[in-house]
Amino acid sequence: MLRKLKGDKVAIIALTIILVTMLLGVLAGQVAPNDPNETSIVNKYAERSQEYPMGTDHLGRCVFSRLIYGIRPTIFLSLLTMGCTILLGTTIGMVSGYARGIVDELIMRIVDVMLSFPSQVMILAVVGMMGVGIRNVVIASIAIKWAWYARMIRSTVIKYNSKNYILYAKTIDTKKSFIITRHMLPNILSEIIVLATLDMGWVIISISTLSFLGLGVQAPAAEWGAMLSEAKNVIQSHPGQMIAPGVAILVLVSSFNMLGDSLRDILDPKEV
């Protein structure tokens, strides 16, 4: 796998962009030249300079510093959301696919109900009931998105259920927990990685969109979607304000999508 990954230039470029972005987020305090929340009306909409590499916004805050600090909620909250979603969806999907019978039917009917509504509409509804805030956005995203992963993982588990080594393990009365963790999980791990990588772009856009609408990260915290929301009011007079966060979201989402496509090709058993 590593050999194939090294030979895929697109995957290497995408992975490099993602890792560098995460590193900048971790080292934001050392990389950012200014305090992201420090206002200076005197420097309102200042031009690019050594002190302000990307200029300032409507409150005189350093756009570059806010862009760097905005990595933390944008990507790290997305990773948290994706991790919890994968954990919940995989667990329920594996139980459903392995148990079958009434347990499978009950879980799948719940999944059908969850998937019958558009995810963004459901997230907006949940956030509307729970209240505004990034914590509620993360909880709502997990609560809505797990069903899709549960269905995908279930179908994969059902496929492996008929394999000879699984049937043999059941025949010799091996514990169900051992079969699931030692036989099932390693086989579906590659599919989980691909699904998570491809879906990270959706999570980033979802969190940024809700912050753009004022439902996610709240002012004065720096977040790319919130920065776009602040810049939309001056899109005609200062259109450059939207370029930095807009391009950042575009590049990061595209990187995750390209990495997911490459991993799907690399981990495809037909290509092994």
Summarize pLDDT for 120-156 with one digit per residue, the tens.
888 888 888 888 888 888 988 898 889 988 998 888 8
**Residue 246: band (very low, low, confident or very high) from pLDDT cuts 50, 70, 90:** very high
Q: In which region does residue 46 sit, left (phi positive, over 0), alpha (psi from -120 to 50) or beta (all else)?
A: beta
Give 107-111 contacts, CB < 8 A, sequence gap 24+.
Answer: 107/150, 107/154, 108/151, 108/154, 110/147, 111/147, 111/150, 111/151
CA distances from 212 to 81, 134, 226 (A): 18, 12, 5
* Beta-bridge mates of residue 56: 62
**Residue 271: band (very low, low, confident or very high) from pLDDT cuts 50, 70, 90:** very low
pTM metric for this prediction: 0.84
39-67 in b/e form (b: 16+ CB < 10 A) is eeeebebbeeeeebbbbbbebbbbbbbbb
Instruction: State CA 256 to chain mean position distance.
Output: 9
Give 52's Cβ-side CA count (13 Å radius): 20
Please state, in angstroms and rounded to a whole number, the distance separating the CA atoms of residues 9 and 113: 41
Kindly state the average pLDDT of the residues 63-81.
92
**99: nearest Cα among 179, 20, 41:** 179
**Residue 268: band (very low, low, confident or very high) from pLDDT cuts 50, 70, 90:** low
Residue 255 confidence (pLDDT) above 70: yes
Please state, in angstroms and rounded to a whole number, the distance separating the CA atoms of residues 143 and 68: 29
Write the CB contacts of 21 (distance below 8 Å, at least 6 apart in sequence): 71, 75, 252, 255
pLDDT in tens, 36-48: 998 888 888 888 8
